[in-house]
């Protein structure tokens, strides 16, 4: 994001007029690992750094290293909640927010984050993730069962139409729950969830896909037989890369094992880490499945009451 001179000026003035140098540096260190204001500014350690100089240096550093949005989110949090029990009123905060929104971002109150606005193209990283950084995600995978047999039995246009319908359904449901589709390979895909209660959102998205696909098979199937799917949800750390094919992740490998080895057709299977975050209302829809002496997964499938 190209930062205007006006935004830089607002941020420098906000810092210098709102807080002491020690507080500025503490906030900068919260977003830039190992931040050292003296090392950055070149001031000798025995000389106090003037507030304006400190504010200018921190402004340049958070912009240069790509932490402007995260730093502004932190300023909003400090303005509303204070810092270490002290009230801190950040001046010019509305102007800073307006400048960021002019760059196509929008501040989402429910997450306390700046994200892509509705008019901006959706990206895999919600407009907030940094390339090659590691985050905790909840992942939802979908695989169409019997791909090889379907391709042999039916014409290519009919199979492609069916798969395109599933992809459209999958994408729409993931988008509604603030997830992002990271990959689609024709007969299946992967979605990531990062914001809010990501584990519950991923599980709910998968449950919704299973229900919507049941209705699809009942009323508008393009093939003489129903499309069947395996769904799995697992959570854990993973590096964020725009190029999905370069990802190497233990979390994704575990998800693939859950999907391929422990999930039946027309079934959703979730890991214990995901299940632990669902809450009592959602937990009741899942049944434990012991897969080893010390490990269980949790299964959901549609059924008649």
Residue 166: give its domain's CATH number. 3.30.70.1230
* Rounded Cα–Cα distance for residues 297 and 270 (Å): 6
Residue 125, in any domain of the structure: no
Asked whether residue 124 is domain-assigned, the answer is no
Structure tokens at 125: 């990283």
Cα torsion angle, 275, 278, 280, 282, sign: negative
In this structure, are 175 and 250 located in the same domain? yes
| Residues 138 and 112 grouped into a single domain | no
Whether residues 52 and 161 share a domain: the answer is no
- Is pLDDT above 70 for 13? yes
Query: How far is residue 226's CA from residue 219's CA, in Å, rounded to a whole number?
Result: 10
Backbone conformation region of residue 212, classed left if phi is above 0, alpha if psi is from -120 to 50, else beta: alpha
- Per residue in 285-296, pLDDT tens? 999 999 998 899
127: in domain: no
Q: Could you tell me if 257 and 151 lie in one domain?
A: yes
Other C-beta atoms within 10 Å of 17: how many? 14
pLDDT digits (tens, 9 = 90+) for 56-80: 999 999 999 999 999 999 999 999 9
Indicate whether 199 and 287 sit together in one domain: yes
Does residue 216 belong to any structural domain of this protein? Answer: yes
The residue segments making up the domain with residue 212 are 134-300
Residue 228 is assigned to a structural domain of this protein = yes
- 255 lies in some domain: yes
Distance between CA atoms of 165 and 159, rounded to whole angstroms? 10
SS3 label, residue 99: helix
pLDDT confidence bin for 208, thresholds 50/70/90? very high
Nearest to 179 by CA among 137, 212, 209: 137
User: Do 293 and 177 fall within a single domain?
Assistant: yes
Q: How confident is residue 128, by pLDDT bands cut at 50, 70 and 90? A: confident
* 203 and 55 in a common domain: no
Do residues 103 and 153 share a domain?
Answer: no
Q: What is the mean pLDDT of residues 259-280?
A: 97
Quick check: 71 and 28 in contact, CB under 8 A? yes
Q: Looking at the structure, do residues 205 and 238 belong to the same domain, yes or no?
A: yes
pLDDT of 304 over the 70 cut:
no
3-state secondary structure of 277: coil
Q: Do residues 144 and 54 both lie within one domain?
A: no
Q: What pTM, to 2 d.p., does this model score?
A: 0.89
What pLDDT, on a 0 to 100 scale, did the predictor assign at position 305?
A: 55
Q: Are residues 269 and 165 in the same domain?
A: yes
Read off φ and ψ for residue 50, nearest 5 degrees: -60, 150
Largest CA distance in the chain: 80
What is the tally of structural domains in the chain?
2
Average pLDDT of the chain? Answer: 95
Do 191 and 139 meet the contact criterion of CB atoms below 8 Å apart?
A: yes
Which of 167 and 1 is assigned the larger pLDDT? 167
Kindly state whether residue 123 falls inside one of the protein's structural domains. no
Reduced to 3 states (helix: H, G, I; strand: E, B; else coil), residue 135 is strand
User: pLDDT at residue 26 above 70?
Assistant: yes
176 and 252 part of one domain? yes
Look up residue 98 and give its two tokens.
Answer: 């307006």
- Read off the pLDDT of each residue in 189-215 and give the average, rounded to a whole number: 97
- 129, pLDDT greater than 70: yes
């Amino acid at each position: 994001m190209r930062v205007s001179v006006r935004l830089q000026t607002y941020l420098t003035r906000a810092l210098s007029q709102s807080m002491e140098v020690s507080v500025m540096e503490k906030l900068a260190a919260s977003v830039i690992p190992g931040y050292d204001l003296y090392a950055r500014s070149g001031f000798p350690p025995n000389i106090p750094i003037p507030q304006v100089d400190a504010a200018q240096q921190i402004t340049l550093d958070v912009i240069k290293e790509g932490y402007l949005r995260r730093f502004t989110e932190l300023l909003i949090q400090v303005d509303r909640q204070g810092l270490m029990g002290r009230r801190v009123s950040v001046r010019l905060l509305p102007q800073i927010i307006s400048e960021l929104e002019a760059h196509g971002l929008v501040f989402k109150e429910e997450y306390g984050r700046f994200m892509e606005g509705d008019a901006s193209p959706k990206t895999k990283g919600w407009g907030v993730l940094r390339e090659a950084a590691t985050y905790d995600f909840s992942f939802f995978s979908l695989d169409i069962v019997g791909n090889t047999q379907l391709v042999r039995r039916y014409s290519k246009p009919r199979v492609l139409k069916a798969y395109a319908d599933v992809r459209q359904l999958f994408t729409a449901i993931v988008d509604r729950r603030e997830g992002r589709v990271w990959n689609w390979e024709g007969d299946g895909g992967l979605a990531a969830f990062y914001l809010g209660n990501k584990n519950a959102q991923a599980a709910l998205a998968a449950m919704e896909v299973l229900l919507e696909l049941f209705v699809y098979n009942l009323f508008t199937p393009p093939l003489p037989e129903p499309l069947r799917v395996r769904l799995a949800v697992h959570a854990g750390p993973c590096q964020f890369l725009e190029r999905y094919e370069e990802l190497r992740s233990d979390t994704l490998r575990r998800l693939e094992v859950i999907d391929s080895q422990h999930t039946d057709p027309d079934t959703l299977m979730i890991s214990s880490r995901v299940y632990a975050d669902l809450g009592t209302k959602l937990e009741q829809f899942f049944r434990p499945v012991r897969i080893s002496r010390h490990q269980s997964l949790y299964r959901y499938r549609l059924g008649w009451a």
